[in-house]
Structure 1
């Protein structure tokens, strides 16, 4: 009976058209290259507007273009950044002089282009404020367009909340199904999917509670990934680290956070997945780097464990820039200092002190 079942599985898999599998494997592995990780520059127009407002700049197309060009043109970006997640506007955006595409600077450095494809989180009907993510309806059409435009991976964020120590089974199953369907759709159209089940830092839950629900979420996710015929070798995971909630005063050491995080992965994550790129989730720049380094010091691991940071790569850069042309070089230096620090953290070699901000970047119920 077992042999018959295996034969049926092999036959089923062989008749599924999977023309991108080799490319998907290469992309997922390349993103986890030693000493490198992802810059998440996929903030929506509204979210980047808030960042610009913090430095007294208007949310104009020109300012958004100027800032993203600053990041992408940072000298040596390809030494620490393997991939960049883009917002759709940026993928098709021309530089300020109109002579080239904004993303050409990334291509010239060998940085892999990625794209945010979800359409944001909404409240799950008849729930206690739990969330679901929109965007599946026309995803196949958009994935084809993004692939043709040069993207080779995608990202979809799902949001889960620990409330009174619990995440509902409904929320977990909704997250698992949506992420797996997204992943399958991406792979059918040539994009390596990053699945991001983010358990928010909001709340007073303990480290142990965060670890427990991280494990439960990942088990459900990878069961559904199997149901949806997702090629794990051509996919990536972007999870939260296991850390106490922001309102919990019993803060843990980087080593304890790391052990809880690695334990959760060892219990739930198939070794076929080549690359895990952690989200920063509102940690300060320094915290995000030190936690990642502590995680990698516990290696070797069966996966590459790296970063996919937005706020934790950009705060010092934005503060240095202030929207002024004369500050571009200093801002790029600040960005590259954080990129280099996180590249070292991916190797387990970062011990702090790279001029990063220690200010918390937490925002309650963060959406972008």
Structure 2
């Protein structure tokens, strides 16, 4: 794959309904997932698990990019092949999470701002040498009666824009992830408002920094009810509100929007994506960048046992195909069983 420009890389990742496998869980997060199936979180076990995912046959044609954690981009498979080469052999591009996590915001300690701009240029140069073609940076926006504050939104979007500029200067595609959290009892309208504000601020900041939008991928939340809200919006309502929000706030020259699943069940994440693509009529590709919603069935099938690897790979392959169909508006629930 000779993908040289930022635009070529970004367009390749979301071509033909392909999406992104988010496998960039930090070691503590990976540890929690492994605890749920009784597997010790060692470097070798984490490597074996991710190697198993990357070798699944359903990676081919369904997955255009894989986001890695710092540990993983340096690892080799059991047979000595680097995991980066393994991903490329499946037709996907390796990416890397580059932010350094969250710190409390001084003016509003309940809220956070993402860290990691210090030394980012040097880290990017190393990641390019390790084979990375794109990067990810996550900002977190909370909703409550008094949140989010404008200060929190603007501080996070300014950091996302500075990050994106540094990444592009190293010839990698930046994924910008302004995640409005599902946590809480808020309505879908409150989520719509917070998401709109965040996206508006984000694209203003990206333009101010001179970021090439056509060489950028957006990884947003969907517009949903809060996870503990009494009234949960239907899949159709989620799709309509999300598409409306994006149409109002996202420029048309952005190549792709790859949603995070953000605590949705694997089937809900697929159903929502499909409903949006059935609405259609937007200028960008709407696809997926799922972690748990792609991996969870695979993790449950694996249980750390070598004899379960084929079952676990089948589970990942199935979810990858279902989400590709959803990214083309061609999924329906009867395909799940």
Q: State the TM-score, normalized to the length of structure 1.
A: 0.89
- Does the CA-based 8 Å contact 1:337-1:354 persist in structure 2? no
Residue aligned with 1:129, SS? strand
What residue is the counterpart of 1:169 in the other structure? 150
Q: Does 1:46 align with 2:22?
A: no
- Does the CA-based 8 Å contact 1:35-1:343 persist in structure 2? yes
Q: How far does residue 179 in structure 1 lie from its aligned partner after superposition?
A: 0.3
Question: Which stretches in structure 1 are left out of the alignment for 5+ residues?
Answer: 1-20, 357-368
- Of 240, 243, 246 in structure 2, the residue corresponding to residue 259 of structure 1 is 240
May I ask how many residue pairs the two structures share in their alignment?
Answer: 335
Q: Find the aligned partners of 1:354 and 1:58 in 2 and give their Cα distance.
A: 34
Residue aligned with 1:40, SS? strand
- Of 91, 100, 107 in structure 1, the residue corresponding to residue 73 of structure 2 is 91
- Does the CA-based 8 Å contact 2:58-2:320 persist in structure 1? no
Q: How far does residue 147 in structure 1 lie from its aligned partner after superposition?
A: 1.0
Q: Find the aligned partners of 2:185 and 2:31 in 1 and give their Cα distance.
A: 30
Residue range with higher mean Cα deviation, 247-256 or 326-335: 247-256
Q: Find the aligned partners of 2:84 and 2:230 in 1 and give their Cα distance.
A: 43
Residue range with higher mean Cα deviation, 141-150 or 180-189: 141-150
Deviations 1:98-123 (A, max 9, x none): x2212322111221110000011122
- Does the CA-based 8 Å contact 2:58-2:318 persist in structure 1? no
- Does the CA-based 8 Å contact 2:125-2:170 persist in structure 1? yes
Residue range with higher mean Cα deviation, 116-125 or 304-313: 116-125
Q: Find the aligned partners of 1:180 and 1:353 in 2 and give their Cα distance.
A: 42
Q: Does 1:131 align with 2:129?
A: no
Q: How far does residue 240 in structure 1 lie from its aligned partner after superposition?
A: 0.3
Residue range with higher mean Cα deviation, 117-126 or 334-343: 117-126
Residue aligned with 2:57, SS? coil
What residue is the counterpart of 1:146 in the other structure? 127
Q: How far does residue 148 in structure 1 lie from its aligned partner after superposition?
A: 1.5
Q: How far does residue 355 in structure 1 lie from its aligned partner after superposition?
A: 4.4
Residue aligned with 1:302, SS? coil
Q: Find the aligned partners of 2:146 and 2:55 in 1 and give their Cα distance.
A: 44
Q: Find the aligned partners of 1:78 and 1:118 in 2 and give their Cα distance.
A: 28
Q: Find the aligned partners of 1:54 and 1:194 in 2 and give their Cα distance.
A: 29
What residue is the counterpart of 2:211 in the other structure? 230
Q: How far does residue 278 in structure 1 lie from its aligned partner after superposition?
A: 0.3
Q: Does 1:64 align with 2:46?
A: yes
What residue is the counterpart of 1:32 in the other structure? 14
Residue aligned with 1:230, SS? coil
Say which one has the larger Rg: 1
Residue aligned with 1:219, SS? helix
In the TM superposition, structure 1's runs of 4+ consecutive aligned residues that sit over 4 Å from their partners are 353-356
What residue is the counterpart of 1:328 in the other structure? 309
**1:146-225 superposed matches below 5 A:** 146-164=127-145, 166-225=147-206
**1:276-291 superposed matches below 5 A:** 276-291=257-272
Deviations 1:3-42 (A, max 9, x none): xxxxxxxxxxxxxxxxxx9610101111111121000000
Output the aligned Cα RMSD: 1.3
Question: Which stretches in structure 2 are left out of the alignment for 5+ residues?
Answer: none
